[in-house]
């Protein structure tokens, strides 16, 4: 059931994680960490052996953190590369459509909003929009690469849903599974974190 999707849990986790690793928060956390380390060192100053053990543990923890971070970063990079290279433009378009709908309908059922019919309607609208852009500005050479596969011999996704329903539903099911995966949510969080923050809007008096 579509409504059984772990509704936005991955996205919420990504946003929470994003806040935790934001540069400004990280600076505050690091200051508290350094203060705590210094406080423990002062408390252990009378016992050199225990102090050395503590210092060794702190150093190892930092080392493990770097190693785990590099390992997770490589894993995430390889995942993102695979998603980009192995999946078609229409697959990625369906994923993004589902995520937008999930955000819009947070806390509500997604069954109807991301049904096969709704997805196909959206794809056909996108094809029409891109085709109109191409007609109005042929110099842009816009390529419509989200049409149904050529061997399906379907002029639209609406007709594909009638003639190739199993194929369409299988494609949508795979895109849904990927869109709501933990790895994709983490990748989106990283992408958002690296994006430059939008400047604050000011009113006429120049106040933000």
pLDDT at residue 5 is higher than 60? no
What are the pLDDT digits (tens) for 163-204? Answer: 999 999 999 999 998 888 878 877 776 666 555 555 555 544
The model's pTM is 0.64
* pLDDT, the chain, mean: 80
Local confidence band at 16 (pLDDT 50, 70, 90 cut-offs) = low
184's CB contacts (< 8 A; 6+ apart) are 10, 83, 95, 178
Q: Where are the domains of the chain?
A: 7-43+87-194
pLDDT of residue 22: 65
Mean pLDDT of 37-61: 93
First CA to last CA distance, the chain: 45
58's CB contacts (< 8 A; 6+ apart) are 37
> What angle is formed at CA 36 by the lines to CA 30 and CA 42, rounded to 5 degrees?
140
> What angle is formed at CA 19 by the lines to CA 110 and CA 65, rounded to 5 degrees?
115
What whole-number distance in Å separates Cα of residue 48 and Cα of residue 21? 34
> What angle is formed at CA 198 by the lines to CA 194 and CA 199, rounded to 5 degrees?
135
Mean pLDDT of 50-72: 91
Local confidence band at 11 (pLDDT 50, 70, 90 cut-offs) = low
Local confidence band at 54 (pLDDT 50, 70, 90 cut-offs) = very high
Q: How many CB atoms are closer than 10 A to CB 51? A: 16
């Amino acid at each position: 059931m579509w409504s059984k999707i772990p509704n936005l849990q991955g996205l919420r986790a990504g946003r929470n994680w994003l806040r935790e690793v934001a540069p400004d928060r990280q600076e505050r956390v690091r200051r508290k960490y350094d203060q705590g380390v210094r406080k423990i060192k002062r408390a252990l100053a009378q016992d050199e052996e225990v102090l050395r053990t503590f210092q060794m543990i702190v150093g190892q923890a930092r080392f493990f953190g770097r190693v785990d971070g590099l390992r997770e970063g490589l894993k995430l990079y390889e995942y993102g590369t695979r998603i980009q290279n192995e999946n078609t433009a229409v697959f990625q378009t369906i994923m993004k459509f589902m995520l937008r709908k999930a955000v819009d309908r947070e806390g509500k059922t997604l069954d109807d909003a991301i049904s096969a019919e709704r997805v196909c309607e959206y794809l056909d609208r996108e094809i029409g929009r891109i085709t109109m852009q191409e007609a109005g500005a042929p110099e842009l050479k816009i390529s419509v690469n989200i049409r149904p596969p050529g061997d399906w011999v379907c002029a639209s996704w609406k007709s594909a849903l009638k003639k190739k329903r199993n194929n369409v539903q299988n494609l949508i099911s795979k895109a849904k599974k990927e869109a709501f995966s933990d790895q994709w949510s983490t990748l989106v969080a990283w992408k958002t974190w690296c994006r430059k923050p939008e400047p604050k809007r000011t009113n006429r008096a120049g106040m933000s």
